[in-house]
Structure 1
Amino acid sequence: MSLIDQLKADMKAALVAKDKVRLGTIRMALAAIKQIEVDTRETLTDDQAIAVLTKMVKQRRDSIAQYEAAGRSELADNEAAEIKVIESFLPKPLTEEEVAAIIDATIAEVGASSMADMGKVMGALKNKVQGRADMGAIGAQIRAKLQ
């Protein structure tokens, strides 16, 4: 079952269960995916759908930080609930050890030796860890290894 089909099935289940938060979040995710499909005029693959969901999680984390800074904890709680729903559709996150091993393998694979090669490493890594690790944290680890 594709990720989009899974989202649609879970949307129906949330509708029957009257789970408003889950239903609204899944509808929002499907709308974002559909918008990209309409814009590009092609059906998204699971990897592309995971990229959309990952971006949605990142946006919500940024919103939580802003809401907490403004003292709006109820809005931050709503965003956190949406993150939980979205993350239930993302692949299992990688551990620190797995991330380090993937970074080392990718650096060796592209033959990176200096900071000038950081873009090559990030490009090669992006597909391997999409939706399973924070690219910002990975960038910092790559910087540390290439210096």
Structure 2
Amino acid sequence: MSLLDKLTKDMVAAMKAKDKETLSTVRMLKASVQNEKIKLGHELSEEEENSLLAREYKQRKEALEEFVAAKRQDLIDKTKAEMSVVEKYMPKQLSDDEIKQIVDEAVQATGADSMKDFGKVMKSVMPKVKGKADGKVVNQTVKDALQK
């Protein structure tokens, strides 16, 4: 079942349950998927769907940080609710240990031994973790691995 099919099914369920918060978030996600589909001109692959979900989640996470700084509790609550809905559709996120293992394997595979090789390692790691890990966490893990 494609992401678009899941979103449509969940949108109907949210309408029946009169769950306005979930409904609005699912509608937003569905619109994003349809816009991406039109932009690319083909059905989205699983990787493209995961990338889209990661982007949507990241946008909400960044907005949440701004709302916390502005002490806007109403927007904080709304954004957290949206994030939890988006999380339902995302693939299982990698743990810090799993990220570290992937980074360590990439460091060995590329023969990296200093920060000069940062780009090579990131180029090797990102396709493996795309949509499954936050880029900032991966970035920091690679820096830590290369500074040893």
Q: Same fold judged by TM-score > 0.5?
A: yes
1:52 deviates by 0.9
Corresponding residue for 2:50? 50
> Percent identical across equivalent pairs?
37
Q: Write the distance in 2 (CA, Å) between the matches of 1:47 and 1:60.
A: 20
Counterpart of 2:70?
A: 70
How far does residue 47 in structure 1 lie from its aligned partner after superposition? 1.2
**Residues of 2 paired with 1:109 and 1:76: CA distance?**
42
Give the length in aligned residue pairs.
Answer: 147
After TM superposition, the score normalised by the length of structure 1 is 0.91
Match of 1:32 in 2: 32
Shift in Å, 1:28:
0.6
Q: Structure 2: where are the runs of 5+ without partners?
A: none
Corresponding residue number in structure 2 for 1:142: 142
- Secondary structure of 2:38's counterpart equals helix
Q: How does 1:1-147 map to 2 (within 5 A)?
A: 1-147=1-147
Q: Which runs of 5+ in 1 are unaligned?
A: none
Write the letter of the residue equivalent to 2:110. Answer: V
CA contact (8 A) 1:4 1:46 kept: no
Q: Does the CA contact (< 8 Å) of 2:22 and 2:82 recur in 1?
A: yes
Cα RMSD (Å): 1.5
Q: What are the superposed Cα offsets for residues 16-59 of structure 1, whole Å, 9 maximum, x if unpaired?
A: 22211111111111111211221221221111111111111111
For residues 21 and 133 of structure 1, what CA distance do their matches in structure 2 show?
26
Greater alpha carbon shift after TM alignment, 121-130 vs 58-67: 121-130
Question: TM-score by structure 2 length?
Answer: 0.90
Distance between the aligned counterparts of 1:91 and 1:73, measured in 2? Answer: 29
Contact 1:4 1:49 in 2 (8 A): no
Structure-1 separation of matches of 2:64 and 2:15: 26
Residues 2, 112 of structure 1: alpha-carbon distance in 2 compared, 3 angstrom cutoff: farther
